[in-house]
Structure 1
Amino acid sequence: MNKLTKRILQILSYESTEWSVETARKITELKKLDPIRVLAKKLDREIYNGDYKIPVRLYFASKDMEKSGEEYEGKVLLFLHGGGWVNESIETYERICMQMAYSTQQLVISVGYRRAPEFRFPIPLQDCYTAAEALFCGKLLKNIKPEDITVIGDSAGGNLTAALTLMAKEKGDFMPERQILIYPAVWNDYTDTSPFLSVKENGKEYLLTAEKMETYLNLYQKESKDRKNPYFAPLLAKDVRGLPKTLILTAEFDPLRDEGERYGQELKEAGNQVEIKRIPDAIHGYFALGIKNIYVKESLHLICTFLKEE
């Protein structure tokens, strides 16, 4: 990473005492102004979790795929967006989902789970699990085969993806055959007591800071004991046997790098099929940089290769 880029990141990583959920959301909502959104081939649906309607948005890779609509037969990526369980939404992740659908030539289904702090753990996870169950059990799209579904998420969405598959194993309602975790948050501590070197090395000057991660965890948890729950921090899970084939992408200058890679190693040691790929020079959240970015291109190539493997 060159000196100018690093200096810009240092400035952007400055922790302002004025930070608030409202301000952070207003900033991310600016993505709704993206003109490319009008090109999206999409269909909106809803799934009920009790009385709450979980919005889901289907992104089609082509006009022909779009014409099939709810009769679509083919492969699917069930996508859980990031944002620290607090920011971002289906709307603000539209460009990323469009890119993913086009690159993989699969249907991408984005889940609008409820966000903290209004809805704390485990409500966001329960929304994601309900959406996944509806898809796997044919309630959302009737022509989709369970073996053709991959669950994927980035950052907090990677956390929710990992937790979802742990929950699916415990409940036995369904089990994805593949999961993709993109710079996932799978641990419960970003203070000076963190066991991970990447928190110490990358926790201050690379946009996502350790301090901000602690803020997000505090907003997500309902009570302090939640941090000891494997559904909150999947790296705490004691038995990770029998989980899906997994691809984990991490970023070199990300405070979450080491925990994601450690989770992958534990999955491997438990006998699961796992691929762990670190993207050199990349920072957390690089997917937002757009499809022409070298890190995004490399990641999409790795994802497409993973999806084609038997």
Structure 2
Amino acid sequence: MAINKFVMAALKALSYPDIDIKRNYKWGRQVTNVTHYHYLKPFYKTWDHKVPCGDHDVPVRIFSPPGEGHHSLLLFFHGGGWVLGNIDSYDKVCANMARLTNRLVVSVDYRLAPEHKFPAAPEDCYAVTREIYLNTGLLETSAEDITLIGDSAGANLAAVVSLMARDRGEFLPKKQILIYPATYNDHTERSFFDSVRENGTDYLLTSKRICDYMDLYMSCPEDLRNPYFAPLLAKSLADQPDTLVITAEYDPLRDEGEEYARKLEKFGNRVELHRIADGLHGFFSLPPSFPQVKECYEIINRFLSEVPQA
């Protein structure tokens, strides 16, 4: 199937030049912030909060949907290869998410690599998740009404937080939504996954860029074998939340995301897997009028309306 030329043009507009991200990650952040900033903010309510985590605080931004009354909650971890992005650059995405799902959205501004290497990001995300799950009065939301969600590296972090929660035994999320997640540790020509070779050179997210992100993110080579770095490596995926995995047809991460869904199901979890046709990595940041985004939200809202398994 040929990629819709309008989708390709929009995704290129959301992208940044093919710079050497390992040398120029600070410049890449500036470009990302400028191209993703929400200059014409609509009327929506937000407020900022900080969650303690060791010797620092993790900023979060809370987006309220239109209307009054009780709302369920989406705890969102942004993408950007663990190196780029922040709560400002994801303002538009989170405002749209709150409106289109009619849920509170809590966006987490976790620490970025390479200044803060693995496991800084998952520990920040876990600290925020723990605070919200164990202090449900903070946002007047019960644990059953909280769903973890992330895109790309953020989906990796959502999956990792669910594994950490199971392993540490303090709480356990009921639902998670993983949008084109990064789950594996090899994106070279040696990868098990065809999507790395099929989609790793001609589209917006290249396999080289993924490898560069991971090099910036890891503290040492042993991290590559850590399931909190690459969750597909976990020996057991038992006792995980009900999971929705959404992949994109022309994404080098497509196959590893779909394999993660299959492995979750193999270990007895309830899983839904959807591949967005004609989709490229990054489509979730497009305006909601785009067909791929509309389909994605239709799938998300169906999943959210289902009652979690006991």
TM range (shorter): over 0.9
CA 1:10–1:50: 2 relative to 1, 3 Å = closer
Unaligned 5+ runs, structure 1 = 66-72
- What is the CA-CA distance between 1:63 and the residue it aligns to? 4.8
Is the contact between residue 10 and residue 206 of structure 1 (CA under 8 Å) also seen in structure 2?
A: no
Match of 1:165 among 162, 167, 170: 162
* Alpha-carbon offset, residue 36 of structure 1: 3.2
Secondary structure of residue in 2 paired with 1:260: helix
Kindly indicate whether residue 61 of structure 2 is the aligned counterpart of residue 61 of structure 1.
no
Superposed displacement of residue 13, structure 1: 8.9
Aligned pairs for 1:199-218 (under 5 A) are 199-218=196-215
Q: Hey, what's the Cα distance between the residues in 1 that align with 2:38 and 2:145?
A: 31
**1:24 matched to which residue of 2?**
28
Alpha-carbon separation, structure 2, partners of 1:15 and 1:31: 15
1:41-120 paired onto structure 2 within 5 Å: 41-64=45-68, 73-120=70-117
The answer to whether the 8 Å contact 1:43/1:59 transfers is yes
Q: State the one-letter code of the partner of 1:195.
A: F
Cα distance in 1, alignment partners of residues 41 and 7 from structure 2: 31
Distance 1:283 1:144, change over 3 A: same
How far does the alpha carbon of each residue in 1:25-61 deviate from its partner, in whole angstroms, 9 at most, with x for none?
Answer: 0111114643333533111111010121110111000
Distance 2:169 2:292 in 1: 36
1:141-290 maps to which residues of 2 (within 5 A)?
Answer: 141=138, 143-290=140-287
> Could you tell me which amino acid in structure 2 is paired with residue 290 of structure 1?
P
Q: CA deviation at 1:143?
A: 2.3
Name the Cα RMSD after superposition.
2.1
Q: Is the contact made by 1:201 and 1:255 (CA closer than 8 Å) also made in structure 2?
A: yes
In 2, Cα distance between equivalents of 1:243 and 1:30? 37
Classify 1:58/1:140 alpha carbon distance in 2 versus 1 (closer, same or farther; 3 Å): farther
1:6, distance to aligned residue in structure 2 (A): 9.6
Displacement of 1:206 in angstroms is: 1.0
TM-score, normalised by the number of residues in structure 1: 0.92
Q: Letter of the 1:253 partner, please give it.
A: Y
| Percent of aligned pairs sharing the same letter | 42
- Is 1:295 matched with 2:292? yes
Q: How many equivalent residue pairs?
A: 303
Any idea what SS the aligned residue of 1:180 has?
Answer: strand
* SS at structure 2 position matched to 1:193: coil
Deviations, residues 135-167 of structure 1 (Å, cap 9, x unaligned): 000167152211110000000000000000000
Which residues of structure 2 form unaligned runs of 5+? none
Measured in 1, the distance between the counterparts of 2:137 and 2:183 equals: 28
2:41 pairs with 1:37: yes
TM-score, normalization: structure 2?
A: 0.92
Change (3 A) 1:14 1:44: closer
Q: 1:308 to 1:224 in 2, by over 3 A?
A: same
CA distance in 1, matches of 2:12, 2:86: 27
Supply the distance in 2 between the matched residues of 1:305 and 1:31 (Cα, whole angstroms). 31
Q: Distance in 2 between matches of 1:236 and 1:152?
A: 20
8 A contact 2:46–2:61 mirrored in 1:
yes
More displaced stretch, 14-23 vs 109-118: 14-23
Q: Assess, with a 3 A threshold, how the Cα gap between structure 1 residues 64 and 212 changes in structure 2: closer, same or farther.
A: same
Asked if the contact 1:13/1:204 (under 8 Å) is kept, the reply is: no
* SS of aligned partner of 2:303: helix
Asked if the contact 2:3/2:278 (under 8 Å) is kept, the reply is no
Shift of 1:88: 0.5
Once the 2 structures are TM-superposed, how far is the Cα of residue 189 of structure 1 from its aligned partner?
0.8
